[in-house]
Amino acid sequence: MSTLSSLAQHVVRRPQRIALLQQIAEQGSITRAAKAAGLSYKAAWDAIDELNNLAGTPLVERSVGGRGGGGARLSADGQRLLALYQRLESLQAQVLQAAEDSADLDLLGRLMLRTSARNQLHGRVVAIEPHGRHDRIEIALNGALRIAALITRDSTERLELAVGARVFALIKAGWLHVLAPDEVGETDHNRLLGHIDTILPAEEGPSEVRIALPSGQTLCALAALDHLHHLHLVEGSPVQVQFSPEQVLLGTPL
């Protein structure tokens, strides 16, 4: 199944997100699109980041200049996703009409799970290395980026992982360590370089830090403002994030 097909099925289950994309196409503004789709500005950008990450390529692009000083627009892939969604929506209606009873629909609901992990990255397995009772799964992301996940052998077999398989890497925001770009950190951890796109201060607890990767994907991390100030990290600063392979959860398309 292609990435866009999997993503279209994802938005079928979350109609607010396709409504957001449709409004961006029509309005050319994240602020107006979020309002029309019934989302807050922050929730809209969370949704856009997740969709871009799952697609592996930007579906929404920021535009600069023009009347009003710029806004947002759908990329070519974003436009194709909208068209594909309309086809899937029609097929979904036919499937639901064919379902014999509510038990069929309940089964479908159990198979289509949502996750609380803020970071969902799409990639392909490029290597599987045995580590005792575990396997180290090497995953290639867009933009020549790579990460590793350490999972049990049973999980490798249950997910039917093999070189070339499509996977989703799930990483909770609290598992990401925000470091200065030249810090060494843990040598056995995943290490990704990017720049700080946005810092969203929290009234209590750690602040949310959005980190743009060279691949066009976005990571969400949590960090105390004192920690960021100590490292002289502000919006636009180069930054690195590190996380353990043991803290990367893997999923595969149905």
Q: What is the pTM of this model?
A: 0.63
The C-alpha atoms of residue 194 and residue 171 are separated, in whole angstroms, by 17
Query: b/e for 168-192, b at 16 or more Cβ within 10 A?
Result: bbbbbbebbbbbeeeeeeeeebbbb
pLDDT at 148: 97
The closest of 107, 106, 28 to 73, measured between CA atoms, is: 28
Residue entry with tokens 């999980």:
155
- CATH number of the domain located at residue range(s) 115-254 in this protein: 2.40.50.100
Mean pLDDT by 10 residues, the chain (254 residues): 54 69 88 88 87 82 58 87 72 54 52 66 93 94 91 91 91 94 88 94 90 89 95 96 94 75
Going from N- to C-terminal start, the domains of the chain cover 3-111, 115-254
The CA distance from 254 to 38, in Å, is: 29
Specify the CATH architecture of the domain 3-111.
Orthogonal Bundle (1.10)
